[in-house]
Amino acid sequence: MKKTTIRRATEKDVPQIFDLIVELAIYEKAEHEVSTTPEQMAIDGFGQDPAYGAIVAEQGNKIIGFSLYYIRYSTWKGRCLYLEDFLVNEEYRGEGIGKLLFEATILEAKHQKTNMMTWQVLDWNTPAIKFYERWDATLDEEWINCKFYQDYLDNYKVRFLDKIDQNKVLLD
């Protein structure tokens, strides 16, 4: 195995991270759902108000894996690190790089003084599930994921605002 460096991502890493995101989307049979761009990711992650952080695994000048996370707030737990995506390029799997990246993400959660680290895994992704089980992760089958996509938000029509005192609503 070549020397692998694990480090925090920089803005110059975004194009290679984006390529890995597309690889992940293809693996998850959801390539059509990728709507962000490297340019937007650079703004969102390295602009004035970063929305996410990332850790990369690098060999030479090639990024071969990443974890992308953000801090969220739980009303029950407080500050939490949410691991949005985690991937090692298929060519480099089985070399322990995923372990290094995942451990670096755990250390980032500690560094950020969070009370919990959470993530999701598709129920059919057996290799990932087995990986997380080796870390003694709690796999919660109780929660159902819910979401609104951009087209829904763009076309949303207010339904109930007339039922509340509009003077107390703090929406523009």
Catalytic residues, which ones? 132
Q: Are 39 and 28 in contact (CB under 8 A)?
A: no
Q: Are 54 and 9 in contact (CB under 8 A)?
A: yes
92 half-sphere exposure, CB direction, 13 A CA radius: 22
Q: Which token pair is 16?
A: 């290679």
Q: What's the DSSP call for residue 68?
A: E
Q: Give the C-alpha separation, 80 to 82, whole Å.
A: 6
Contacts of 23 (CB under 8 A, 6+ apart): 87, 89, 90
Question: Residue 129 is which amino acid?
Answer: I
Residue whose pair of structure tokens reads 């500690």 in the numeric block = 110
